[in-house]
């Protein structure tokens, strides 16, 4: 039995400590992902907390045929969507550019972060698919399971997302080149 | 890994956020006050299995009772089967001396061309997708 499987078994038997160990590797990635889908940092933190509590409570429904991260992200996306539908944006969270808390957490750089461009130009689902593919290294099959979409939908939308971001990326590269040459 | 994929990964790591100690404490406290719903699925399965048996037995008993009831009934002497006397059906035949007009052949050709174009486009998209993933 792998370490992850042993921790899952222990957590199913009621060990909160085993569950904490189990999710420790995923917490930061989940928070980063939820941050891109929430209207404030506090909302992202709440969504992370809800995700982990729900995962612990319903751990018996986890099917070991899937990767544990796939299952966690499915719960996270559902939580974020639910929060978004009932949430009203607080005045303090409104930013001029509409990027929300994401911009505040991005390290200062000369070049715009591609995920900010993605936030503006892609739909929530395509954004999530791109994130799961290029940050979490998930397979197409896992991504379609997380998003509850067909494999072909996932492939086509990843290609569209790539095409959109590729255009942004090349535009930035061209601008930088022309600046360099004056 | 291509340039875009590398840039996306690097940019994701430039999003600076970490789970604060306060949030960590909050999560830990919530987890400790929560109990996983263990074994509920198994109980539900065993319940549904006994339910299946009960409903099957009830169905079989009902079917047996119905068959016995029908077989024990005495036939009504008032009901006598009568032989039907069908009238022969005459269908008038009309002799048509016409030739089929070939009006659709240009449209069919056009349709085939369009289908071929569509197939080519589909293959091109499939190749693009396969090359990427």
pLDDT of residue B119: 93
Question: What residues of chain B, 18 to 47, have a C-beta less than 8 Å from chain A?
Answer: 18-20, 23, 26-28, 30-32, 34-41
Residue A54: per-residue pLDDT: 92
Among the three residues A105, A129, A151, which one is the final residue of a domain in this structure?
Answer: A105
- Mean pLDDT, chain A cut into blocks of 10 residues (182 residues total): 84 90 90 84 88 91 88 89 62 48 66 84 91 92 92 93 88 63 54
- Per-residue DSSP letters for B1-29? --HHHHHHHHHHHTB-----HHHHHHHHH
- Model confidence, pTM: 0.61
A6 and A84 part of one domain:
yes
- Rounded Cα distance between A31 and A48, Å, is 6
Q: What are phi and psi of B131, to 5 degrees?
A: -65, -35
pLDDT in the model for residue A100? 64
Is residue A175 domain-shared with residue A163, that is, in the same domain? yes
Q: What is the pLDDT of residues B6-40, one digit of tens each?
A: 988 888 888 878 888 888 888 888 888 888 775 55
Q: Which of A105, A136, A170 is a domain's end point? A: A105
Does the distance separating the beta carbons of B41 and A107 come in below 8 Å? no
User: How many CB pairs (< 8 A) connect A and B?
Assistant: 110
Q: Do A97 and A124 fall within a single domain?
A: no
Chain A residues 100-139 with a CB less than 8 Å from chain B: 102, 105-107, 109, 113-115, 130-131, 134-135
Residues A123 and A95 in one domain: no
Model pLDDT, residue A53: 93
Region at A137 (left for phi over 0; alpha for psi -120 to 50; beta for the rest):
left
Residues A144 and A130 in one domain: yes
| Record: contact A16-B28, CB cut-off 8 A | yes
State residue A66's pLDDT score: 85
Final residue of a structural domain among A75, A105, A135: A105
Structural domain containing residue A147: 109-182
Answer yes or no: do A167 and A85 share one domain: no
Q: How far is Cα A33 from Cα A18, in angstroms, rounded to an integer? A: 23
What value does the mean pLDDT take over residues B51-64? 88
Q: What is the pLDDT of residues B65-77, one digit of tens each?
A: 989 888 887 665 5
- What is the number of structural domains in chain A? 2
A151 and A73 within one domain: no
Q: Does residue B41 have a pLDDT over 80?
A: no
Considering the domain architecture, whether residues A83 and A70 belong to the same structural domain is answered as yes
Q: What is this model's ipTM?
A: 0.78
Q: Do A53 and B34 touch (CB under 8 A)?
A: yes
A46 near B CB under 8 A: no
Contacts of A1 (CB under 8 A, 6+ apart): A9
Residue entry with tokens 């830990």 = B28
Task: Say which CATH number the domain at A76 has.
Answer: 1.10.1740.10
C-alpha neighbours within 13 Å on the C-beta side of residue B70: 6
Residue (of A155, A14, A85, A167) closest to B133 by Cα position: A155
Q: What SS3 state is found at A100?
A: coil
């Amino acid at each position: 039995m792998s370490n992850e499987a042993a921790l899952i078994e222990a957590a199913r038997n009621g060990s909160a400590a085993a569950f904490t160990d189990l999710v420790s590797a995923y917490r930061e990635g989940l928070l980063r992902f939820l941050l891109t889908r929430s209207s404030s940092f506090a909302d992202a933190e709440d969504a992370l907390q809800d995700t982990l509590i729900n995962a612990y409570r319903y751990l018996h429904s986890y099917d070991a045929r899937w990767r544990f991260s796939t299952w966690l992200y499915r719960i996270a996306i559902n939580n974020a969507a639910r929060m978004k539908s009932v949430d009203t944006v607080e005045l303090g969270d409104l930013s001029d550019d509409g990027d929300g808390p994401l911009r505040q957490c991005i390290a200062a750089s000369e070049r715009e972060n591609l995920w900010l461009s993605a936030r503006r130009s892609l739909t929530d689902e395509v954004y999530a698919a791109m994130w799961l593919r290029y940050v979490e290294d998930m397979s197409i099959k896992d991504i379609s399971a997380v998003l509850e979409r067909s494999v072909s939908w996932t492939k086509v939308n990843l290609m569209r997302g790539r095409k959109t971001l590729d255009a942004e990326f090349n535009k930035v590269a061209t601008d930088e080149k022309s600046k360099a040459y004056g | 890994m291509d340039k875009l994929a590398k840039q996306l990964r690097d940019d994701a790591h430039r999003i600076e956020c970490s789970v604060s100690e306060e949030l960590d404490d909050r999560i830990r406290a919530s987890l400790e006050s929560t109990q996983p719903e263990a074994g509920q699925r198994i109980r539900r399965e065993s319940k549904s299995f006994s339910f299946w048996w009960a409903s099957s037995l009830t169905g079989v008993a009902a079917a047996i009772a119905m068959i016995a009831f029908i077989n024990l009934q005495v036939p009504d002497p008032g009901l006598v089967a009568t032989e039907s006397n069908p009238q022969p059906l005459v269908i008038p035949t009309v002799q048509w001396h016409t030739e089929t007009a070939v009006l659709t052949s240009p449209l069919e050709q056009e349709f085939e061309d369009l289908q071929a174009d569509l197939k080519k486009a589909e293959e091109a998209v499939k190749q693009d997708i396969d090359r990427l993933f």
